[in-house]
Amino acid sequence: MTDEHTPVTEADLHAFVDGRLDDDRRSQVELWLKDHPDEAAEVRQWQQQAEDLKVAFSHYARFSENDRTLLNPEAQGPFWRRAGLLAASLLLLLSGAGAGIYADRFYAGSPPVETASALESLPGQSKTAFLVYASEKRHPVEVGADDEAHLIAWLGKRLDYKLVAPDLRSEGFSLVGGRLVPVNGRAGAMLMYQDAGGQRLTVLLGKNPESRETSFRFETSGSIETFYWIDGEIGYAVTGEVTRAKLQAIAEECYRQFES
């Protein structure tokens, strides 16, 4: 019995949606979902989010030498992964971790626990940074937008990453500045933006060298929305008290500029 001997966790549900369970475990989860309609409804919502993300990111699709299998529907694996491959525009065939959109490197087998943990911890860390710093009046950032070149060089050096500060003026938000923050026990970066009405949002970046996939997810906590993803070694999370549609548009713009 699944409930008595192998409890179904949230990680199992994400793995079920991602197509990462073996046949026996998948069958157990399917039976469990039949007896848990609320969780089954949430799983269906995640699957719908995959379709929504596919639509949102499909116009970034591009192909490379390694993409031949993408053209063969039989080789693409579960729907969530197929939607991700098209949506993220980053090619990868894997049975890896994280829900959503996979990308740019081959990764064999199940993901290391650290990778899944890094992905799952991103929204919480981003939410905490947002709550701590977005409400700060005098010192929300360490380096302001008036010294953007120094800010980007400094944070990029600490992350060992060619950092850019996305230009979000098309979405009504201007750069306030940024600061160094811890992300998964390593140096991370937080960029802050603000609109004309004083509404703020944050973009969190953290390095996770063990990661080899790209995944996109939403998380809602009260009025706070977070859109987060891992792309290669870098995890990204955009957090704000804005509508999900607005945050998705902002995250899409961030993704486009980070990938350009």
Residue-level pLDDT at 52: 59
User: What CA–CA distance (Å, rounded) separates 7 from 27?
Assistant: 13
pLDDT of residue 187: 92
Which pLDDT band holds residue 110 (cuts at 50, 70, 90)?
Answer: very low
Number of other residues whose CB lies within 10 A of the CB of residue 64: 10
Strand order in the sheet with 173-183: 143-144, 173-183, 186-195, 200-207, 234-240, 224-231, 215-221
CA distance 187 to 128: 16
Q: Which two tokens stand for residue 192?
A: 């802050």
Residue 96: inside a domain, yes or no?
Answer: no
**Residue 210's pLDDT is what?**
67
What are the Cα distances from residue 83, in Å, to 96, 215, 253, 260?
15, 11, 19, 21
| pLDDT tens per residue, range 203-251 | 999 987 666 556 678 899 889 999 998 887 888 999 999 999 999 999 9
Looking at residues 172-186, what average pLDDT do you find?
93
Q: What is the DSSP string of 117-146?
A: HHHHHHHHHHHHHHHHHTT-SS-S-SEEGG
User: H or E element: which one contains 50?
Assistant: helix 37-57
Say whether both 199 and 238 belong to one domain: yes
pLDDT tens digits, 6-50: 788 877 887 787 777 888 888 999 999 999 988 888 888 777 765
Q: Is pTM, for the whole model, over 0.85?
A: no
Tokens 């486009």 — which residue? 256
pLDDT band at 60 (very low <50, low <70, confident <90, very high): very low
Range of the domain at 27: 2-88
**In terms of domains, do 250 and 194 share one?**
yes
Q: In this structure, is residue 105 part of a structural domain?
A: no
Percent of the chain clearing pLDDT 70 (strictly above): 68
State whether 128 and 237 are in the same domain: yes
149 and 68 co-located in one domain: no
- Of 12 and 136, which is predicted with more confidence? 136
Convert 216-246 to b/e letters by CB count within 10 Å (16 or more is b). bbbbeeeebbbbbbbbbebbbbbbbebeeeb
Residue 56's pLDDT is what? 52
Is 149 within a domain?
yes
Q: Identify whether 117 is part of a domain.
A: yes
CATH code, domain carrying 126: 3.30.200.100
Residue 133, pLDDT score: 94
| Judgement on whether residues 72 and 146 belong to the same structural domain of the protein | no
- Any domain includes 164: yes
- What pLDDT does 14 receive? 75
Considering the domain architecture, whether residues 119 and 55 belong to the same structural domain is answered as no
In a domain, 103, yes or no: no
> Of 45-59, 90-104, 117-131, which gets the smallest average pLDDT?
90-104
pLDDT at 1 over 50: no
Count of structural domains, the chain: 2
Give the tokens for residue 11: 């990680």
pLDDT at 113 over 70: no
Structure tokens at 150: 């120094």
Give the pLDDT confidence score for residue 216 in this predicted structure: 79
